[in-house]
Every structure is written in structure tokens, then in C-alpha cells.
Chains A and B, each alone.
Chain A
């Protein structure tokens, strides 16, 4: 930092303020609004949300291809498509990709795009940190996947149980890519979680108290709180493993006195909240979609919110049910068995409330609605098999069999992914200004539902018959042959359904010019984002609405007559906004989030291959942070109205990075 001159000290602050303000930035803030530059420097939560979605979908295709490799290998007994070693890498990378690079960021895509709209805000609390989270996540995803070309992927399962993942048992660098890549992804998630938590708590429109927020916003808030508290735990676990693998520490070396359960505890204290981190956003999406297409308000709104919070709390008290087979002792097993059964209660409340919302409603079976109903059905199956895991004696039979694989795919694919697809069809017109084709959408839904059940339904049977997880092949005549073939056929049916979705995206986009534009409120919906033109203008709201009740937008359209019947009181055109406001002050784009995020994977490669390479990465991070902190608050043409004159320099250390993050909010 340049300290140029001695200034007169102790200016009286009252008249000292703005007059002698000198911008500190070395570079001007970027100003382009179109072209690729505008995308890499954007701090607009909507563009960031779209990019999250695109990148996550790309990784969905990567992870899906890995799944197809697995199913091709297992289709027939004694197959030699993949070696045992390659198979280990493929199923590990499939798990890591789907959990950390698909479901979490896809939920982040919806959260980023919708959260400010649903609470009536112009952007998130810290727009540049939001961009940083995106680039950090992209860097982590690329970093983890480059392991394929640098000696092989991680091969210890997504849970990476130490000491099994020590250098002795896994000598390649795959697991180093896993630990460091996840640390980087963790920084992205943590920054994003802090950001979105503050956004929801602090940036609600006038009158929108917590119990007037849409259920989606509530569920995202619960997820962010879980992330804030769960990520540091896996950060510690990953750091310990990294220190063991790269620097010879002894945390997991049993011959040195280590406790082999340490990793499992740390991992699952993160890992169980993590499964709610994965599913609650989809619960939120479904809670938006079902009322709209049932033409009824959500049944039991306070219970929906409270059960979401209850799941968030109880999710911290069930982690050891992943460890029933590890010899915890009868008291622990009994306690965690009970708490696991209890957590089914708030989840059951949600399922029943969705059904009660549909009950007696005028149901419209759009594609979005079908996927939501798909979630309710498939998640219930997965939830029920989950309750069977809570019964510890049964669980010891099921542990490490395909029954577990069936269970978590029913909750994560049948649950989380179905909900996310529902969200795609529901919000697509809002985000891109044109519908996805409903006919192709329904083909997509039915193919996916059938393929999904063909793939994962038989795994219940395979598991109970004793087929182990993570085996790369099996012998003929064990009774596994037929169901494995069915599961593999199902996997390819899912693949076809995803291709139908992609074709739908392309075709709908091509036909968008000729199609009827969706208008601001194509579904006659309930929450604030539907007040805005489609696609949403850069400044979101022309005028921030004042909120008087839950489902404010709906109540601006509909009231009740003297007989208590619902009647329309205003035309949609009269209650929606035109999106033509000008001179709305928006945060300026910035290069720095990208610069800082670029440094982190470089540090990662340096840690793995040669510490000297980490130096440019560290310099990039440090320089980027100072560039960020000293960046002018606004460009010259658009002088600040009510911002503090100088940029913020506000900071905290990131767990898991070798450098700290200093970040400034706009």
C-alpha cells in the first residue's frame, strides 16, 4: 500500500469527511455490461446464479458419465471394463462430483438467483464475495478433476475414511486433490453461506419479517446456517489428512497411538448436516411449486418453517448412525438410534404438509409439478429405508451393502435432484424469458422417474441379498446377475432422459423468438419474484415493495368477497412492475474476486507437487485481497450516493486456506 504523504492529524471529523476523499484504487472498476468480460467481472446475483447452474450442470454430466461407467462395469458378472483400481477412482469421483460439485452448487444457483428476489432486495449483502464464491467453486471443481490427468483420481470413497486414506494405502496424489480441492470448495461455500445468511437476516423488504418469508427462503437460510457450522469441522478433518499425507503428521497413524474413529466422527459431524444441506433446498423448491399448481396456500406454513429448523437442529445429533458397525458401544448406538428415528418426524411433517396442500386443490400437472410430486414420492421411499437404518440391528446387516446405495440415491437423486429439476422448469421463464417445452418436459420426467426406479429400486434387493458396496465386480451365480442388469439398463434410461432435457433447453431457446413470451407471472404464482418482468431486469425491483403478509404478491392479485370466496381484485399487469426504472444504483463489477479465486488452485498444485509453485498462488491471493480492499467503491461516472466514501477493508481468516480472505462488502 502506498503511503504517500503526511496529512494534518486529527481533523475534526464533522467537516473532515468527503471533501478530501481520494480514491485509493490503482485500477478502475470494469464497466462493460455485455460480452464475456461482463460475465467474468459480474457481481450481479442473477448472473452468478446462472453461472452456478451452468457449471453445476456440466459437472452433473461428468458425474453422470462416471455413473454410467460404474453401471456398465457392474452390468454383467466378472466384467473387465474397469480395473479394481480404476473402479475405486470412478466411484469416488462420482460421489465427490455429485455431492460437492453438482447438488450443492445447483442449490446455490437457485439460492443466488432467487433469494434477493424473494425478500425484495437488489442484490446479496456482499456482491463481490458472491462472485468470489462462484470462481472459487469453479476452481475447486477443475482442480479436483485435473487429478484424472495427473496420476489418477481419489480412490478412498467420498467419505475418505482415514487411516485407509493414508499414503500407505493410497500412494497416488488422487486423495491430495480430494482434500485440497474440498478445502477450496469449502472456502467457496463458507463465504457464500456467510453472505446469504446476512442477506436474509438483513436485507428484507420493509414489512417482511421472518415469518412472512417464502418457505424456499427459509430453507436456504437453514442450509446456510448448517454450512456455516458444519464446514469448519470437515475443514479440520481435511487439514489433518492433508498434513498427514503431505507433511508426515501422525493424526491417523494407529501405530503412533491414533484413534481410527477420529476421522469418522469429524467427517460425519459434518456429513450428516451435509445431507440436509443437500436436501433442504429442494424441499424449499417443492414448497414453492406445489402451492402454485394446487392453487392453494402452503398448508401449515409455520409447521413447514419449524420442521425445517428442527431438521437443521436435529441433524447435529444423529451423525453416529453412520458408524453403527464401528463398535461404538451399546449406549451410543441406542442414543443415536433413537435420535435418528426422531428426525424422521419433522421430515414426515413436511411430506404430510405437501400432501395436505395438494388435497382438495385444483391440481395442474405441469412438468414442474410432476417433478415436485416425484420428489414427495421418491423421497418418502428413501426416508422409509432411512428409518430402517435407524434400527441399529438391521443397520449392521445393511451397512456397506447396496441397500445403503439404494437409500441415499432415493433421497439424493429422487429427492434433491428431482426438486432441482422441478425448479428448472418452474423458474426457467423467469430466468431466461421463455418456457421450457412442456411436452418434452413430461417425456423427461417419466423417463427419469422410470429409469431412476429401475436403477435404484433393485439395489434394495441386491443389498439385502448381500451384495457389497464398492466392489468392482462380482462372480456369476450369486443371484446378483439379473438385478444388476436391470439397474444398468435403468441408468442408461436416466441418461436418455437427461439428453431429452438438454434437447429441450436447446429447442426451447431456438423457438423462444416465435413463442408467446411468458410475461412476469406465467404460473399465477405467489412470491415476489413473479412481480418482476421475465427475464428479471438487472436492478430487480423498480420500487421495493412493502410487505404486509405471507404470499404478498398473491394477495395483491386476489382477495375474498363477502361470501368468503376467493376473487381476483387486480389484473396481473396492474400489480407487476415494468422493469423500466433508471438510475438505480447497483454495485460495480470487479476483477478481484476472480484474481483471488485463481490463486487458490495454484497454491493447491504447489502443495502437492512443489512448494515453490505455491508462491505465485499465494501472491495472487494476497495481492488480490489488497486490490479488492483498495478498489474504488464505485466508478467515476456513477458516484456513490450513500456509500461510505472509501472501500471497506473487512476481514477474517478462512479456515483451510493458507491465506486469509479480506473482503469488502459494497
Chain B
């Protein structure tokens, strides 16, 4: 829980203050925040697992899930982690143009994923599964909806980074800002892998 081994302040990260752990405040803050997010999704996934097969009437998970479709959109989201890494790596090398290119690609892949989710939700509703239809519907839409909101926030942050970059305010020294938002993005991806496994595949 704490870092007792590190004692003396180490070299400051580029452009920042010296810190006791050697990590910048912003990066450490993101890690602490993500630990909190683990419990958030942990509680949501537990709630889903408790409730998904307790509906007194249909539709049930088996009736609505389209595994091939969701597999494809999951793959798209996974690939966005790769492009996120490429974006950070480009900025670390000082290649602003590639950085923007990969950031935009990441945002685009995220948007495709969200588009897939919107399509999935509408098709489920057409098949008769609304938010209030049964307890499975409530649990499913809440869990995946929460994840979707997280992806959307990530897309907004990526686009903001592109804007900053175009304005000339995202220099090589600030590659860590992109890396920190990358941490968030990867986290959201990892959570999706868990959700895809326990919600879709386990059904």
C-alpha cells in the first residue's frame, strides 16, 4: 500500500518537482484513482453476476447476446490500446505529427466501439430488453453503460490532447501527460476484457 523502500527524493521527472517516490504527482494520482476505479467496476460486476440469472421473465442473456458482433467490437477496443502506445511512443520521440495521428486513431477506434455499443443497445431494445424490463436488463445496461461512459470520457480526453497538440502545447517534454491519459485508456480496456469474459462469454 505504501512505498516504504524509497526514501530520498530522486531526480525530478522532466519539468517537474522532485518527489519522494520518483513518480510525478500526476502519474501517482492517476494510479491511485485507477485503484479506486477497480473497486467501482468490481462492485458493478459483482452486482451483475448476482442478478443476471434471477429475472422472473425474459429476455435472458442467451436470448440477446450476439457474441461474434461483440467480439469484433472488443477487438477494436483492444487495438486502440496498441495505437495509444504508439501515440505515447511517437511523442516521446518528438514526432508531433505521428502523435496526433495515433491519438486520433485511438479516439476513432474508441468511437467505433461506442457506436457498436449503441447499435447493440438498440438491437437489444428491439428484441424486448429494456432498462426496466427485468433485473438482467437493469444490471446489464448499468454495467456496460458505465463502461461506455468511461470510454466516452477517454475519447474526450484524447481529442482534447489533439487540440492541445495542434495549438502547440503538447511538447515532447509533456509526453507524460499523454502517458497518464494512456494509463486511463488501458485501464478502461482491461476492464472491458473482464466484462466481455464474465458477462458475454460466461453466459
Contact = CB atoms under 8 A, between A and B. Distances in A.
A151 interface: no
Interface string A115-131: 00000000001100000
A475 interface: no
B59 to A, nearest CB: 14
Contacts of B168: 7, 20-22
Contact of B43 (A3, A210, A233, A253): A233
Residue in A190, A198, A207, A232 with the greatest tally of chain B CB atoms within 10 Å: A198
A230 B16 CA distance: 31
Contacts of B56: 255-257
Given A125-B29, A650-B180, A231 B171 contact: no
Contacts of B43: 232-233, 235-237, 266, 269
A262 B142 contact: no
A125 B169 CA distance: 22
B111 to A, nearest CB: 16
Given A24-B169, A195-B29, A249 B37 contact: no
Nearest to B6: A209
B29 A198 contact: yes
A235 B40 contact: yes
A243 B18 CA distance: 45
B96 interface: yes
A346 interface: no
B153 interface: yes
B160 A642 contact: no
A652 B135 contact: no
A202 B20 contact: yes
A239 to B, nearest CB: 7
Chain A interface extent, by class: 35 or more
Contacts of A2: 167
B99 to A, nearest CB: 9
A258 B20 contact: no
A235 B38 CA distance: 13
A539 to B, nearest CB: 15
Contacts of A126: 25, 29
B195 interface: no
Nearest to A255: B56
A646 B174 contact: yes
A206 interface: yes
B138 A190 contact: no
B36 interface: yes
A660 B54 contact: no
A84 interface: no
Contact of B32 (A198, A258, A648): A198
Interface in A186-229: 190, 193-195, 197-198, 201-204, 206-211, 221, 225, 228-229
A651 B184 contact: yes
Residue in A2, A202, A204, A209 with the greatest tally of chain B CB atoms within 10 Å: A202
A12 interface: yes
B35 A228 contact: yes
B70 interface: no
A204 B26 contact: no
Interface of A: 1-4, 7, 9-13, 16-17, 20-22, 24, 125-126, 190, 193-195, 197-198, 201-204, 206-211, 221, 225, 228-233, 235-237, 239-240, 243-244, 247-251, 253, 255-259, 262, 266, 269, 309, 312, 626, 629, 642-646, 648-653, 655, 660, 662, 665
Interface of B: 1-4, 6-9, 15-17, 19-21, 23, 25-26, 28-30, 32-40, 42-44, 47, 50-51, 54-56, 94-97, 131-132, 134-135, 137-139, 142, 149-150, 153-154, 156-157, 160-161, 163-164, 166-174, 177, 180-181, 184
13 contacts: A1-B164, A7-B167, A16-B171, A24-B164, A190-B33, A232-B36, A235-B40, A236-B40, A250-B135, A257-B135, A646-B169, A646-B170, A665-B26
